[in-house]
Chains A and B, each alone.
Chain A
Amino acid sequence: MTLEATSNLPVTTGRAAKPLVHPRWVRITHWINALAVFMMIGSGWQVYDASPLFRAVYFPGPITLGGWLAGALLWHFAAMWLLAVNLIVYVTLGIATGRFRQKLFPIRPRDVWNDFTAALRGKLSHDDLAVYNAVQRLLYLGVIIAAIVIVLSGLSIWKPVQLKYLTDFFGGYDIARYVHFFAMSSIVAFLVIHITLALLVPKSLRAMIFGR
Chain B
Amino acid sequence: MVTEKSARTKKSPSGVDPKLLIKDAAKLLPQSSRRMFLRGAASLGALSMLTGCDIVDGPTSENVLRVISRFNDKVQALLFSDTTLAPEYPESAITRPFPFNAYYSEDEAPDIDGDNWQLEIGGLVGNKKPWTLAELNRLPEVSQITRHVCVEGWSAIGSWQGVRLSEFLKLIGADTSARYVWFQCAEGYSTTIDMPTALHPQTQLTLKFDHRTLPTAYGFPIKIRIPTKLGFKNPKYVTAMWVQNNDAGGYWENQGYNWFSGL
**B-binding residues in A (CB < 8 A):** 38, 42, 47-48, 50-51, 61-75, 77-78, 81, 157, 159-162, 164, 173-174, 177
Contacts and interface: CB of A to CB of B under 8 A. Distances in A.
For the complex of A and B, the 10 pairs showing the least CB-CB separation, nearest first, are A67-B40, A51-B153, A70-B256, A50-B152, A67-B39, A51-B152, A78-B68, A161-B263, A74-B65, A71-B40
Contacts, number: 98
B45 interface: yes
Contacts of A174: 155
Interface residues of B, number: 42
A51 B44 CA distance: 21
Contacts of A72: 40
Nearest to A39: B47
A51 B154 contact: yes
A164 B40 contact: no
Interface of B: 36-47, 64-66, 68-69, 72, 79-81, 84-87, 147, 149-155, 227-228, 252, 255-258, 262-263
B40 A161 contact: no
Contacts of B43: 61-65, 67
Nearest to A157: B153
B79 A159 contact: yes
B40 A66 contact: yes
Contact of B36 (A63, A71, A81): A71
Contacts of B86: 161, 164
A74 B66 contact: yes
A42 B47 CA distance: 10
Contacts of A164: 84, 86-87
Contacts of A161: 84-87, 227-228, 262-263
B262 A71 contact: no
Contacts of B150: 51
